[in-house]
């Protein structure tokens, strides 16, 4: 008899950007303590824009379409994401884990599982295949205007894959010593909290005829993720950020500080 | 890979140079693992650093990694051309791809780092 390794999954209630980033930092520490993969799923209130670690605050503040929503800077890389109508996840593994050694392995593992879970629900999607090396930062401010190898793009029904097919999920990492923290976002709907240039169609916009149960999709996705690494999903009944309230509150001070948000 | 290099477990290399300085970079293995580098932030010249402290960040297409001071001391020089020529890190990681020069507080601290054989063994263990 073999015993699968537990994959703890927390589904947290919605929180502001600083709290969410603080909880994810605590999640990375949790992965190191446990020595295995951990996942947190969550939402945002109010809607917010998260900036990649290296994005310039001046660029964000020059876009009127996002002027009315709060900004938070992620510790992870990549482009800006409008949150509030997406499913956000944070996943963390120790660097000694097979998915922790090189960046692409973790992206591909989680994204391939999502492509399969979407396909089970009649939504065709695929991993983007990059042609050649990307230009420095790819030019685009928003994550969903960029394309990198392994991003998930939707394939329209009854159509052949095309380069302009919309990106619906992207992820980015922070790789501190000993652990990898990966953030990702599956777009559900275009956000109404921002202006048109900051809106990107989500799965529910692209396939309105499909009654998508987001919680069911997330569960099926993580079951696939667990199977591919010899784990079994263990849903946690408590909220991660409430379980780690003191640690999250301490981390949140930094993520809410202007010094962090405007560091570039 | 020059034999006189020492390595940190976090994949930085150090080369003791004439004048008592320590030249620091990141290993070819680390550069290859990051893939497609797009941005780098260097520390300020004059900054005091402690061994193991993050002294800069490097971003690949979607991953941000810190790099760490392998020895304590003062940053006396940085490779200012590197952020605009990140391909140098891949082409010549142990030469033109150097990142910072540190004046060590205690040069003997370098003896606690990995030699080439030990670092190769570390890399091998990470690949399996």
Angle in degrees, 0-180, between the axes of helices A17-34 and A245-256, rounded to the nearest 10? 130
Angle in degrees, 0-180, between the axes of helices A214-228 and A103-120, rounded to the nearest 10? 130
ipTM for the complex? 0.78
Q: Spell out which chain B residues touch chain A, with contact meaning CB-CB distance below 8 angstroms.
A: 10, 33-36, 38-39, 41, 57, 59-66, 68, 126-127
Residue A236: pLDDT band with limits 50, 70, 90: very high
Query: How confident is the model at residue A159, as a pLDDT?
Result: 85
Query: How confident is the model at residue A129, as a pLDDT?
Result: 87
Query: How confident is the model at residue A43, as a pLDDT?
Result: 94
Query: How confident is the model at residue A138, as a pLDDT?
Result: 61
Residue A133: pLDDT band with limits 50, 70, 90: low
The answer, for A149 touching chain B at a CB cutoff of 8 Å, is: yes
What is the Cα Rg of chain A in Å?
17
d(CA A192, CA A15): 18
Give the residue from B54, B51, B43 showing the smallest Cα distance to B104: B51
The answer, for A148 touching chain B at a CB cutoff of 8 Å, is: yes
Q: Is the pLDDT of residue A134 over 70?
A: no
pLDDT digits (tens, 9 = 90+) for A3-54: 789 999 999 999 999 999 999 999 999 999 999 999 999 999 999 999 999 9
Query: How confident is the model at residue A130, as a pLDDT?
Result: 76
Chain A closest-CA separation from residue B73 CA (Å): 21
Query: How confident is the model at residue A156, as a pLDDT?
Result: 86
Query: How confident is the model at residue A114, as a pLDDT?
Result: 98
Residue A131: pLDDT band with limits 50, 70, 90: low
Query: How confident is the model at residue A221, as a pLDDT?
Result: 98
Chain A closest-CA separation from residue B105 CA (Å): 24
B20: left (phi over 0), alpha (psi -120 to 50) or beta: left
pLDDT digits (tens, 9 = 90+) for B18-62: 889 999 999 999 898 887 888 899 999 999 999 999 999 998 887
Q: What is the mean pLDDT of residues A129-143?
A: 69
Question: Given an 8 Å threshold on Cβ–Cβ distance, is B126 in contact with A101?
Answer: yes
Alpha helices in chain A (DSSP H): 17-34, 57-61, 103-120, 203-206, 214-228, 240-243, 245-256, 258-261
Q: Which of B39, B66, B127 sits opposite A54 (nearest CB)?
A: B39
Range from A127-131, A169-173, B25-29 carrying the lowest mean pLDDT: A127-131
Chain A residues touching residue B61 (CB < 8 angstroms): 77, 134, 138, 148-149
* Chain A nearest-CA residue for B29: A102
Chain B residues touching residue A176 (CB < 8 angstroms): 66
Which phi and psi (to 5°) does residue A234 adopt? -125, 100
Question: Given an 8 Å threshold on Cβ–Cβ distance, is A134 in contact with B59?
Answer: no
Question: Given an 8 Å threshold on Cβ–Cβ distance, is A175 in contact with B63?
Answer: yes
The answer, for A137 touching chain B at a CB cutoff of 8 Å, is: yes
Instruction: Give me the percent of chain A exceeding a pLDDT of 70.
Output: 96
pLDDT digits (tens, 9 = 90+) for A48-87: 999 999 999 999 999 999 999 999 999 999 999 999 999 9
Residue A136: pLDDT band with limits 50, 70, 90: very low
Chain A residues touching residue B64 (CB < 8 angstroms): 53-54, 75-77, 172-175
β-sheet bridge partners, residue A82: A49
Query: How confident is the model at residue B128, as a pLDDT?
Result: 64
Range from A12-16, A95-99, A109-113 carrying the lowest mean pLDDT: A95-99
Which phi and psi (to 5°) does residue A111 adopt? -75, -40
pLDDT digits (tens, 9 = 90+) for B86-109: 999 999 999 999 999 999 999 889
Q: Which of A170, A173, A177 sits opposite B64 (nearest CB)?
A: A173
Q: Is the pLDDT of residue A237 over 90?
A: yes
Q: Is the pLDDT of residue B2 over 60?
A: no
Chain A closest-CA separation from residue B48 CA (Å): 20
Q: Is the pLDDT of residue A135 over 80?
A: no
d(CA B70, CA B11): 9
């Amino acid at each position: 008899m073999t015993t699968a390794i537990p994959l703890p999954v927390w589904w947290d209630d919605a929180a502001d950007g600083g709290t969410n980033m603080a909880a994810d930092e605590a999640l990375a520490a949790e992965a190191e303590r446990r020595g295995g993969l951990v996942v947190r799923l969550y939402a945002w209130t109010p809607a917010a824009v998260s900036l990649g670690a290296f994005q310039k605050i001046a660029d964000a503040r020059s876009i009127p379409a996002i002027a009315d929503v709060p900004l938070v800077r992620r510790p992870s890389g990549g482009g800006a994401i409008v949150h509030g109508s997406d499913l956000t996840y944070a996943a963390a593994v120790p660097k000694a884990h097979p998915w922790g050694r090189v960046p692409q392995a973790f992206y591909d593992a989680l994204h391939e599982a999502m492509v399969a879970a979407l396909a089970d629900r009649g939504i065709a999607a695929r991993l983007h295949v990059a042609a050649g090396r990307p230009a420095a930062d790819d030019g685009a401010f928003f994550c969903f205007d960029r394309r990198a190898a392994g991003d998930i793009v939707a394939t329209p029904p009854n159509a052949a894959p095309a380069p302009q097919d919309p990106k619906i999920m992207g992820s980015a990492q922070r790789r501190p010593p000993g652990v990898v923290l990966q953030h990702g976002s599956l777009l559900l709907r275009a956000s109404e909290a921002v202006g048109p240039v900051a809106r990107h169609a989500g799965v529910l916009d692209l396939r309105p005829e499909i009654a998508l149960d987001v919680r069911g999709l997330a569960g099926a996705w993580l079951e696939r993720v667990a199977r591919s690494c010899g784990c079994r999903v263990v849903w946690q009944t408590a909220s991660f950020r409430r379980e780690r309230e003191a640690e999250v509150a301490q981390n949140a001070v930094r993520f809410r500080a202007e010094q962090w948000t405007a560091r570039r | 890979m020059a034999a006189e290099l020492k390595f940190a477990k976090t994949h930085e290399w150090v080369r003791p140079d004439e004048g008592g300085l320590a030249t620091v970079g990141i290993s070819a293995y680390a550069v290859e693992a990051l893939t497609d580098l797009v941005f780098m932030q260097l520390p300020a010249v004059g900054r005091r650093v402690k061994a193991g402290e993050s002294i800069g960040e490097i971003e690949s297409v979607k991953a941000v990694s810190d790099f760490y001071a392998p020895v304590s001391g003062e940053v006396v020089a940085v490779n200012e051309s590197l952020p605009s020529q990140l391909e140098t890190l891949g082409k010549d990681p142990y030469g033109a791809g150097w990142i910072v020069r540190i004046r060590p507080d205690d040069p003997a601290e370098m003896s606690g780092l990995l030699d080439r054989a030990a670092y190769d063994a570390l890399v091998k263990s990470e690949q399996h």
